[in-house]
Structure 1
């Protein structure tokens, strides 16, 4: 059986990117990218079911899981998450690898695969798309982005500490906002998504990332086609119902 090798801590200018690894580091590498507001524990039940002759590394995006939060004033833009993938590849000394992305992680992996096509041999998308296409809500997109930016400014100005609650209250809040996730999976994600305090637990993710519109780049169909033409990777798309089935790690 393939077991977890170790927890990784990769240095970046604002702190570190946390990751966890399975398999032999001599094997073909696969970088696993979790969904928005999730963490690397998203892959704990999947990886043991996959072929054993690969080296799987699941990273926590900045502001998620055990990775460092961005410095105040430094935005969580989509391109910055794409840049994190490049930083992780450099730290691991990977020149070519596969990408496995769930939901938001798929859009990050898709963009990376188009910007650095020579580095990605396979792109696997779970409940995702390589880009966030414009939708019927495009007329409201600027309003969404304005609210997202105002939210970030309010969070930074408030200096308010994260709310500490009991583990059970945290779990029930998670399950309420993620009705398609079972209790066992909820507990599993919260193990990496919370930190211990004297009187309970608190969400360890950065509160600035709770507006998805702030972290996504929406593209037109014309740009979508232009970007896709640059892909060199073999692509596997497993898409039950994008955005509806993906876990949104909200408890508030």
Structure 2
């Protein structure tokens, strides 16, 4: 099944429906934008974000476009991974994505990913090259790449952190007023997110408790995100398998701590193995799609029009 796109856009904004997709330990919550009778682009958010991260972008795209924005397990409104089990965020996401594809019996999958979501899309496109039609990556190419010595040195510390966060019951979790919650999110992103962007994320990222206070909805265990990372050599081997239509949108300066020289090598490898490779740079921070969606819309529309002629 190929993605059907009608690029004739009216002045009306796209609309969505909140849905739940069953999984063995609960459900994946999602926002399904546009028609339900078309196979959607599957949109996957970044680490500790949620499906709302794509709201500003999708509101600028044609309303006839079908897009399924999921909350990964432990994020947004989706079920948390069962107690006692760590998050292996890249691999968890890959399995969840495949579950969703098989649940709906889709083929020729199209993926839009930001950060962690882009890395999951990378793994999917490499693991299922014959079943991936298109991948749009925003400001991340692949799973994070660390020096092996750093991984070995920090593994014990990360396990202990996981056990600590696991021990925190809801009675030990702090609650905050709305304004304080938004301040915390801005501080956590080192002010690279606008206040409006934080408020958009927190529509799904927090829930009310008593006395006009709020809890974060994400699983605290997600803070431990560096277990079972692939080596650089493994990432390169994955990259060799990608043959779908590929668009990379790199924010500049983006996320400055990324090991960009290594990611550039990964991009070069992808370019060698696919017949349709597009790389563009836009001015902005890591969350450029959320802070300044209009700047990336022309690149996405141009890419889609080329793949799916009107």
TM-score (norm 1): 0.89
- Counterparts of 1:77-96 in structure 2, within 5 Å, are 77=88, 78-96=90-108
> Could you tell me whether the CA contact under 8 Å between 2:13 and 2:60 is conserved in 1?
no
Offset, 1:182: 1.1
Structure 1 unaligned residues grouped into runs of 5+: 248-252
Q: 1:246 is matched with which residue?
A: 286
Offset, 1:99: 0.4
Measured at CA, do residues 28 and 17 of structure 1 come closer, stay the same or move farther in structure 2, by a change above 3 Å?
Answer: closer
Equivalents in 2 of 1:26, 1:89: separation in Å?
15
- Counterparts of 1:155-234 in structure 2, within 5 Å, are 155-159=165-169, 161=171, 162-178=173-189, 179-199=191-211, 200-214=213-227, 217-220=229-232, 222-234=233-245
Equivalents in 2 of 1:197, 1:218: separation in Å?
39
Q: 2:301 is matched with which residue?
A: none
Equivalents in 1 of 2:18, 2:248: separation in Å?
28
Offset, 1:53: 4.1
Q: 2:135 is matched with which residue?
A: 123
In our comparison, the structure showing a higher alpha carbon Rg is 2
- Choose the corresponding residue for 1:99, options 111, 114, 123: 111
Task: Give per-residue Cα distances to partners, 1:4-44, cap 9 Å, x unaligned.
Answer: 23001011111100000111123342000000000000000
> Could you tell me whether the CA contact under 8 Å between 1:30 and 1:99 is conserved in 2?
yes
Q: 2:279 is matched with which residue?
A: none
Task: Give per-residue Cα distances to partners, 1:164-186, cap 9 Å, x unaligned.
Answer: 11111111111122201111111
Offset, 1:213: 1.4
Task: Give per-residue Cα distances to partners, 1:140-177, cap 9 Å, x unaligned.
Answer: 22233322221111122343532111111111111122
Equivalents in 1 of 2:179, 2:14: separation in Å?
29
User: Residue 192 of structure 2: SS of its match in structure 1?
Assistant: coil
Q: 1:36 is matched with which residue?
A: 47
Offset, 1:195: 0.8
Offset, 1:93: 2.7
- Choose the corresponding residue for 1:143, options 153, 156, 171: 153
Equivalents in 1 of 2:22, 2:167: separation in Å?
28
Structure 2 unaligned residues grouped into runs of 5+: 1-11, 257-284, 288-310
Measured at CA, do residues 90 and 2 of structure 1 come closer, stay the same or move farther in structure 2, by a change above 3 Å?
Answer: farther
Larger CA deviation: 63-72 vs 152-161: 152-161
Number of aligned residue pairs: give it. Answer: 243
> Could you tell me whether the CA contact under 8 Å between 1:22 and 1:57 is conserved in 2?
yes
Task: Give per-residue Cα distances to partners, 1:49-85, cap 9 Å, x unaligned.
Answer: 2244431000000000000001111221121211010
CA RMSD of aligned residues (A): 1.8
Q: 2:30 is matched with which residue?
A: 19
- Counterparts of 1:35-54 in structure 2, within 5 Å, are 35-54=46-65
Offset, 1:205: 0.5
